[in-house]
Amino acid sequence: MKKTFLTLFILMALGMLGNAAMPILDPELRDAMSHCSDDEKIKINILMLEQSDPATLQRAALPFATKLERRAIVIESLKRQAEALQAKVLQLLREMENKGMVDDIRPLWIVNSISCKATKAAITELVQHRDIMTIYHCVPAQWIDETKTTPTSWNDGREITENLLQVNAPKAWEQGYKGQNVLIGLIDTGVRFDHADLIGRLWDGGPDYPNHGYDFANHNNNPFDELGHGTHVAGTLCGTGVAGVQTGIAPEAKIMVLKVFHNDNTGEETDWAAAMQFAVEHGADVLNMSLGRPSPNAAQRLMMRQACENTLAAGIVAGVSAGNVRQMQFLTPPPYNITTPADCPPPYLKEDQMVNAGGTSCVISVGAVNYDHTIAAFSSEGPSQWTDVAEYGDYPYTSGSMTEIGLIRPDLCAPGVQIKSLDYNTTNGYTLMDGTSMATPLVTGTIALMLSKNPDLTPAQIDEILERTAVQLTERKSNDFGSGLLDAYAAVQAVDNEGVAKNEQEASVYPNPSFGDFTVVCEGMSLLRVFSMDGKLVQSLETRNDTEQISGLTDGVYLLQLTKRNAIAQHKIVKISK
């Protein structure tokens, strides 16, 4: 049977990777099964055998003209992969669900995986399925420190917090960049929506998401903060200072609230991945993840790095806290002191890393310093390594080696001690907190400033600018400070916004990819022509309208040529079947 264009395109784009070994049960799951009754259901995550190759996926998206088009093709490709490769397993799970053996089935496409609750008999049957790589036990864990707050007073006049001054945020604002038109996906404990300093700074999710986001831990539409951590982080991102203290580094950005923790402060990587997937699909420009799972097993690390690599393929970068377990090295010494996903690689590899280079992901890892620029006592110490996850096997680490140096973590640092930000117990109060969680939103917010200057920056460009403009605290990139102390002003200054304004001939084309027709919008266009990729003219349309429809295309990739005032602009467009 002749393969359709769609099948060929997805195979090309995903560069599917598989493991020829039979599916295995994670040892922790085997142990859990030995201690439960026959009718008891265990929360599991099923990693499918074939996962995407993000580098191939990125290359397939490169020909498309805009970030939105590239993101769209990545999302569509990942969805198609999951739909095709999960079909048989989902059918089996639905049959088991009807027999009372399985419930709470939740497929994902940001990682090709399915979570559910299943009996021992169901798990035993699933192990035999050839499309499954690994089945592991989903165990809630504490991803953030117990919330410790110190309510604080503030001056009657307008105050700018010390952490903002330390990273030169006011000088960046003077250039006119405050995060305008940038949407930050905040994956955390939720947010207190009615704090005065967040009014107008929260995402409008429309009638489907009336409370500015979603609660993935409790699976409802109310991501309200019951712990305080997320509200404090949100204040450092976007707090406007209406109540008296300017806490936000990007006060004109907006926040998408993505709650992934229960009110007992525990969470699971399946909910975290679901939040990343939501942010990617719903238009977040950058993610903040002031969180980290300590001591995950190999299957959990595989799950989390795959999510971060696919997020990078979609063109999105994330600020991620390095962790607060430096003083626990007797339990988790380097290369395991950095929590996951901060132990995943960055979008850009600095020359210091090239002696032991490996893959990349969306993660910019952030450590914490005191106000005197010494390392915070709690800030986790790198490096990390990935040789114990067979599917990656990169960044080997041998203590004392000049070549097997592991993955240098973090990438940079920012103030994270006695940070003043929003108090979730009031609608107008402030509190002090410590942690790499508090340093991270300074980096994420700076990314928002950079994107407000040039929204077309790639994750690699963002990371390189941040690291090269940081204030050096060591001779080379180190496993304490990374490339140095964040300098928001220098980072914004280093962004080149020359030539990024759209050519007036360019059109807006949507949806792209499309299941049906394409809409082309461009003021004053006179001629539209569509060519196949081998150069044959497929359609030609003269027009005096500012909006036109392109219809009747078969599955494939085409070149759209637009003429306006004798100038020509081009777009690649993709037609796919449902």
- 363-369 and 245-246 as β-strands: parallel, antiparallel, unpaired? unpaired
What predicted TM-score, i.e. pTM, was given to this entire model? 0.83
Residue 5 has a pLDDT of 35
- Write out the two tokens for 183: 């949407």
Q: Which residue, chain included where needed, has tokens 């050839």?
A: 130
Q: Which residue, chain included where needed, has tokens 């022509």?
A: 529
Q: Into how many domains does the chain fold?
A: 3
> Does 221 fall in a domain?
yes
Q: Which residue, chain included where needed, has tokens 């917010």?
A: 445
99: domain CATH number is: 3.30.70.80
* Cβ neighbour number for residue 427 with a 10 Å cutoff: 16
- Rounded CA-CA distance 432/555 in Å is 56
Q: Are residues 101 and 148 in the same domain?
A: no
In this structure, the chain runs to a length of 578
- Rounded CA-CA distance 101/96 in Å is 5
- Region for 482 from its dihedrals, namely left if φ exceeds 0, alpha if ψ lies in -120 to 50, beta otherwise: left
- Rounded CA-CA distance 411/143 in Å is 20
Amino acid identity of 550? I
Among 88, 118, 139, the domain boundary falls at: 139
- Write out the two tokens for 399: 């203590």
- Are 246 and 239 in contact, with CB atoms under 8 Å apart? yes
Q: Are residues 192 and 86 in the same domain?
A: no
Q: Are residues 303 and 330 in the same domain?
A: yes
**C-alpha 276: how far from chain center:** 5
Q: Are residues 285 and 352 in the same domain?
A: yes
Q: Which residue, chain included where needed, has tokens 């991945």?
A: 273
Among 494, 517, 545, the domain boundary falls at: 494
First to last CA, the chain: 19
Residue 180 main-chain phi, psi, to 5 deg:
-60, 140
Per-residue pLDDT of the chain (578 residues), as tens digits, is 333 333 434 444 444 444 434 348 989 999 999 999 999 999 999 999 999 888 788 877 878 888 999 999 999 999 999 999 999 999 999 999 999 999 999 999 999 999 999 999 999 999 999 999 999 999 999 998 765 677 777 665 579 999 999 999 999 999 999 999 999 999 999 999 999 999 999 999 999 999 999 999 999 999 999 999 999 999 999 999 999 999 999 999 999 999 999 998 999 999 999 999 999 999 999 999 999 999 999 999 999 999 999 999 999 999 999 999 999 999 999 999 999 999 999 999 999 999 999 999 999 999 999 999 999 999 999 999 999 998 999 999 999 999 999 999 999 999 999 999 999 999 999 999 999 999 999 999 999 999 999 999 999 999 999 999 999 999 999 999 999 999 999 999 999 854 333 333 456 787 877 888 888 988 888 888 887 765 678 899 989 888 899 999 998 877 787 877 655 667 778 887 76
- Write out the two tokens for 27: 């040892």
Q: Are residues 477 and 514 in the same domain?
A: no
Q: Are residues 216 and 325 in the same domain?
A: yes
Q: Are residues 135 and 146 in the same domain?
A: no
Q: Are residues 307 and 374 in the same domain?
A: yes
Q: Are residues 188 and 87 in the same domain?
A: no
212: domain CATH number is: 3.40.50.200
341 preceded by cis ω (within 30°)? yes
What is the domain range of residue 556?
Answer: 508-575
CA distances from 293 to 143, 297, 324, 413 (A): 5, 10, 11, 20
Q: Are residues 319 and 404 in the same domain?
A: yes
Residue 292 has a pLDDT of 96
* Strand extents, DSSP E, 423-507: 430-433
Residue 12 has a pLDDT of 43
Closest CA relative to residue 441, chosen from 172, 171, 235, 214: 235
Closest CA relative to residue 162, chosen from 152, 148, 147, 149: 152
